[in-house]
């Protein structure tokens, strides 16, 4: 029984870390795209 519990915890931990990694990746991607958009807007406003 304890062994199964340990295995379950291991799997859960791995999945949690994977989720955190995926969320971080998505966050970075969105952040980068937003910065690009902001730069574009700034440059266009400067031109105007």
Domain ranges (residues) in the chain: 1-47
State residue 11's pLDDT score.
87
Radius of gyration in angstroms for the set of CA atoms belonging to the chain, rounded to a whole number = 21
Q: Please tell me the pTM assigned to this model.
A: 0.53
Q: Is the confidence at residue 48, as pLDDT, over 70?
A: no
How many helices (H) and strands (E) in the chain?
Answer: 1, 0
pLDDT of residue 36: 87
Query: What is the spatial distance between Cα 25 and Cα 6, in angstroms, rounded to a whole number?
Result: 29
pLDDT in tens, 7-39: 888 888 888 888 999 999 999 999 999 988 888
pLDDT over 80 at 46, yes or no: no
- CA 18 – CA 48 distance, rounded (Å): 45
> Alpha-carbon distance 3 to 25, whole Å?
33
């Amino acid at each position: 029984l304890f062994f199964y519990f340990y295995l379950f915890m291991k799997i859960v931990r791995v999945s949690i870390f994977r989720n955190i990694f995926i969320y971080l990746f998505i966050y970075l991607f969105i952040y980068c795209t937003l910065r690009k958009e902001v730069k574009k807007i700034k440059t266009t406003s400067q031109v105007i």
